[in-house]
Structure 1
Amino acid sequence: LNETVEQLTLPMEATPVLSMSERSWLKLHSLSFHGEYVDVAQMKAFPLFLSKGPRLRSLFMTVRQLPKTAYRRAPILGYRPPDDPFQPASIRLRSLTIAYPDPDDDIFSVDATDLHQLSLRDWPRYYGNLTYVDRQITGSPAPILTHAECLSILRRMNVPRLTSLELVYLVNPGVVDDELLSYISRAFPRLEHLQLHRYRADKEENVDYEHIAKLLVAACSLRTVRLNLNLHGDHGPYCNFVPTRQSWLAKFRDEIGPSIIGILQELPLLGCCELLYHQLGGSTWTEFRPAHGPEPHFIEYHDQDVHLYVIRLELLPSSSPLHDISHSYVGTLSFFQYDCAADMALGECPSRHLE
């Protein structure tokens, strides 16, 4: 298998990374992992495993981090000083998606001149932490990046061909992310698609969304913009209090969205701006189109932003077919979206106290 396979999409719980790292994967060009790490040994084996795939072009990792370990964020290639005799194989990525990345990881030092797509994100979605009571189920033990860490990663990478960028980050109290937004707007001349999930550590911060939009206008190559700005007053996902949802929707639709698109429509190639809206049944991207664009200029339900997560339902015995893959007991996986609205008392919006 390792001599012929070109693409792999695997659940982390059923992947024997340790044994896979003992072989070379000379034709592997696309690698995707999802789920949750099993233990620290599996996590630590990744740098060696990836060094065995010199032709890797696409890496997609939405893996929930392990709690209560020495690893604050899981290593991908890890970190090694320049004089270390063991260096990872030279890979030239075209697409890179990592949930909860380590800004010091060597993955951001590989040749990225061919990189078209970059996503430094969360998994599960961080906004679930702002509503759910049981963070052991919904959240991740690893912290999202700060805006300064995002900026340090982008400055390390030489990505002249980048066309799509997603960032998920936290803005600490008393600081601004203007430098990051300005860098994005001027450093990537081919950037067409931008998605930002900006969270505020200061729950009292009133996010100046017009100022953010004005900074992004300098990115004249943008065609689509997606923004989740964690605005003050947003009730968050699964709010069951109808008056709160109706009030926020009116402000979102009639004030915030038109104001942002009114600024961003100065971008010559912009087709639309999408803002994240938390409905009762899930979170969706709502579309606002420029005044010169086709009608309708507001589409309430455009595209769902799923924040699924993995749980282990049962163990399979070693006689099962999956045993040939993992050489151990593995969990069957179920992907679902937990609707905690059913668990809420009617008339209560649990996220209001977070504002």
Structure 2
Amino acid sequence: MTSMSVPEYIPLQALNSDVFRIIISALSGQDLRSLSLCCKWVRLDCVPFLFRSLTVKLYRPLHRDRFIDSVMWPFIRSLTLVDMCPDAGAPERSEEDLASYRPLRFAEDILTCGVFEPRVLADILTNMSGLGALTLDLPTGGAVPHGLPWKALKVVLSSTCLRELSLTCLRTTLSTPTDWPSELHALATMSLPPLTVLKYSLHPYRQAPRAYSSEMDVMSTLAERLHGSLVALELPLELANLHAMSHVQWPHLRELRLIGEFSPSPPLTLVSVLLNMPQLRALELKLTPLVGSDMPPIWPPDYVSADEGCPSFELETLTISYPHAHDKFFSHLAPTMHNLSLRCWPHYSTYQWRYADRYRWMTEGREWYCSVAMSSSLLRILQACPSSPLQGLEIEYRADDGDVSLLSHIVVAFPALTFLKVYRYREHADVTVPVEAIAQVLSALRLLRTLRLHLDFADTPERTMLSRRTRDLWYDQEELTEFRRGRLTNTARVFARLLAPSVGSIWMLHPADGRSEWAGFQVAPAGTAGTPDAEVKPICEFTSSS
């Protein structure tokens, strides 16, 4: 009998350098930091990966001496600058109140952030030769926006190495120079980096004004000039110049996201823009109509395309709020979709519970309107969509006579679903929810892994506890706990018993103080818990709704 041979020790230094870098690139941030402490030569190889993505919080104006060592600058590929400026306004104070409340430390005026020092920013971006992605993250603050200085934005747009630019939760160019027309003309003629990603994200629930003219000028000019290179574009709808976008081609655009209020009198149909985007693969339209108006179809029945061929949209991901039952857009989709979301924005449950959660202030001062699609209307939309290898589906509707037909069509048309999220609202006269009937229909989804449900139970708790401090009504926590442990747990058990064995988790939505929450339940297949039926156990009772 031969003895087992002892593996030969091979030093780490003998590993091929390219293979070693591949291994390093796959490590998490924490593992990478731990490995870098091993020895000097390992750290030298880790440095380019340690500093490839960097986030810097700015409490004071940018200064080279307070920034990361310039030796590391060539390694940085992605940089995020987070504005922590003390001049940002408090939510409860107006512009006049703030001016008298405290003096400005760094900003020249209350609308403009002072930490983005243009000259230092230009020095940093010029010497970060490998920088490809830049994110400027400014808080929305409160009633008074805190915006990016125009000079700082010009510096950013002069950085020729940039390929991705994200402006997150900020208001830019609020305080414009006196010669703004000439500055805008310079923007229209200056050399811009060939950006492939442009994202401008404002807080969706921001108060009026929803857009500033200077913002519209800048975003319209950038979108029009970069249409030939952009691969991904995200804009607030209020800042999207749809007329200009419909008159240019977008040959490389694969992702388009528009979020915001939809005007009662839209200047043109959205399909006239989308038809200029032949490579579009992800479309997200989270739009909210105003009171007295309905969301118009993307492709109206009477719209005639200039292209006789009417090519199909080869989308892989599609999100549409308040879908229109007579929208021709759905019949022009190719069978390529992997994820589909037909929902309200915000969710109707948000409106139901707005006096009980963090969205209470959301609709104050606005005239947003939430018209939930009936199940029969949603059925018509899904019937117009081609059968596709859909893996994720989100639907939001009010039940009518087409309730069972809608769910039955889903399991037949999209048998490959692994994720399903359903917001189902009762008719106002209904007090019961056919839990077993719904579970029985969905049991035909043999590949389903995750199910999220909001079934609008009539006995959902309401706010009854009066806060002595704020005089607001809050939920009785014992009542909420009983609702989760009783109604929601029993409902999850019914679904676990009837659904396919592939289902691993079931989540139920419920209200809570400050937010809506998903109560999660892990499914234990029949027999594993010593019972003939599948059983559930809580996963997490404090997962926020999205």
Q: TM-score range by the shorter chain?
A: 0.7 to 0.9
Q: Output the CA distance in 2 between the equivalents of 1:239 and 1:139.
A: 25
Matched, 1:252 2:515: no
1:305 matched residue in structure 2? 545
Q: How far 1:276 sits from its partner (Å)?
A: 0.9
Normalising by structure 2, what TM-score?
Answer: 0.50
Matched, 1:263 2:491: no
Letter in 2 for 1:35: G
Rg bigger for which structure? 2
Letter in 1 for 2:384: R
Matched, 1:164 2:397: no
Q: Output the CA distance in 1 between the equivalents of 2:539 and 2:344.
A: 26
Structure 2: give runs of 5+ residues left out of the alignment.
Answer: 1-225, 464-472, 530-534
Give the 3 Å change call, closer, same or farther, for CA 45–139 of structure 1 in structure 2. Answer: same
Answer 1 or 2: which has greater strand percent: 1
Counterpart contact for 2:393–2:421, Cα < 8 Å: yes
1:78 matched residue in structure 2? 300
Counterpart contact for 2:488–2:508, Cα < 8 Å: no
The residue matched to 1:41 in structure 2 has which SS? coil
Counterpart contact for 1:62–1:97, Cα < 8 Å: yes
Q: How far 1:160 sits from its partner (Å)?
A: 2.3
Letter in 2 for 1:305: S
Q: How far 1:161 sits from its partner (Å)?
A: 1.0
Q: Deviations over 1:16-48 (max 9, x none)?
A: 112121111111111011122356234x34221
- Select 2:353's aligned residue among 95, 106, 131: 131
Letter in 1 for 2:524: A
Matched, 1:206 2:432: yes
- Select 1:92's aligned residue among 311, 314, 332: 314
Counterpart contact for 1:166–1:196, Cα < 8 Å: yes
Deviates more, 1:255-264 or 1:28-37: 255-264
Letter in 2 for 1:186: V
Matched, 1:118 2:353: no
Counterpart contact for 1:182–1:215, Cα < 8 Å: yes
The residue matched to 2:390 in structure 1 has which SS? coil
Report sequence identity in percent.
28
2:423 matched residue in structure 1? 197
Counterpart contact for 2:416–2:445, Cα < 8 Å: no
Letter in 1 for 2:506: C
2:372 matched residue in structure 1? 144
Structure 1: give runs of 5+ residues left out of the alignment.
Answer: 307-355
Q: Deviations over 1:40-71 (max 9, x none)?
A: 234x34221111111111101111113334xx
Q: How far 1:103 sits from its partner (Å)?
A: 1.7
Counterpart contact for 1:194–1:222, Cα < 8 Å: yes
1:59 matched residue in structure 2? 283
Counterpart contact for 1:121–1:167, Cα < 8 Å: yes
Q: How far 1:139 sits from its partner (Å)?
A: 7.9
Q: How far 1:142 sits from its partner (Å)?
A: 4.5
- Select 2:510's aligned residue among 241, 266, 277: 277
Give the 3 Å change call, closer, same or farther, for CA 305–157 of structure 1 in structure 2. Answer: same
Q: How far 1:129 sits from its partner (Å)?
A: 2.4
Q: How far 1:305 sits from its partner (Å)?
A: 1.1
Q: Deviations over 1:295-329 (max 9, x none)?
A: 982123363213xxxxxxxxxxxxxxxxxxxxxxx
Q: Output the CA distance in 1 between the equivalents of 2:536 and 2:369.
A: 41
Letter in 1 for 2:412: R
- Select 2:240's aligned residue among 15, 19, 24: 15
Counterpart contact for 2:262–2:295, Cα < 8 Å: no
Counterpart contact for 1:184–1:219, Cα < 8 Å: no
Where in structure 2 are the equivalents of 1:215-226 lying within 5 Å?
Answer: 215-226=441-452
Counterpart contact for 1:12–1:38, Cα < 8 Å: no
Normalising by structure 1, what TM-score?
Answer: 0.76
Letter in 1 for 2:386: N
Q: How far 1:85 sits from its partner (Å)?
A: 5.4
Counterpart contact for 1:73–1:142, Cα < 8 Å: no
2:475 matched residue in structure 1? 240
Q: How far 1:96 sits from its partner (Å)?
A: 0.6
Q: How far 1:219 sits from its partner (Å)?
A: 1.1
2:250 matched residue in structure 1? 25
Letter in 1 for 2:325: P
Q: Deviations over 1:266-305 (max 9, x none)?
A: x132111111122222112221122238998212336321
Q: Output the CA distance in 1 between the equivalents of 2:233 and 2:269.
A: 17
Q: Output the CA distance in 2 between the equivalents of 1:256 and 1:62.
A: 30
Length, aligned pairs only: 298
Give the 3 Å change call, closer, same or farther, for CA 67–22 of structure 1 in structure 2. Answer: farther
Give the 3 Å change call, closer, same or farther, for CA 257–20 of structure 1 in structure 2. Answer: same
Q: Deviations over 1:61-119 (max 9, x none)?
A: 111113334xx2133233336x7756665421111100111121122012321111110
Which fold has the larger relative contact order, with Cα–Cα distance below 8 Å and residues 6 or more apart in sequence?
A: 1
Give the 3 Å change call, closer, same or farther, for CA 51–179 of structure 1 in structure 2. Answer: same
Q: How far 1:10 sits from its partner (Å)?
A: 0.9
2:326 matched residue in structure 1? 104
Q: Output the CA distance in 2 between the equivalents of 1:39 and 1:198.
A: 27
Give the 3 Å change call, closer, same or farther, for CA 276–89 of structure 1 in structure 2. Answer: same
Q: Output the CA distance in 1 between the equivalents of 2:281 and 2:517.
A: 30
Counterpart contact for 2:373–2:397, Cα < 8 Å: yes
1:332 matched residue in structure 2? none
Counterpart contact for 1:206–1:231, Cα < 8 Å: yes
Matched, 1:287 2:515: no
Give the 3 Å change call, closer, same or farther, for CA 139–271 of structure 1 in structure 2. Answer: farther
- Select 1:186's aligned residue among 406, 412, 415: 412
2:455 matched residue in structure 1? 229
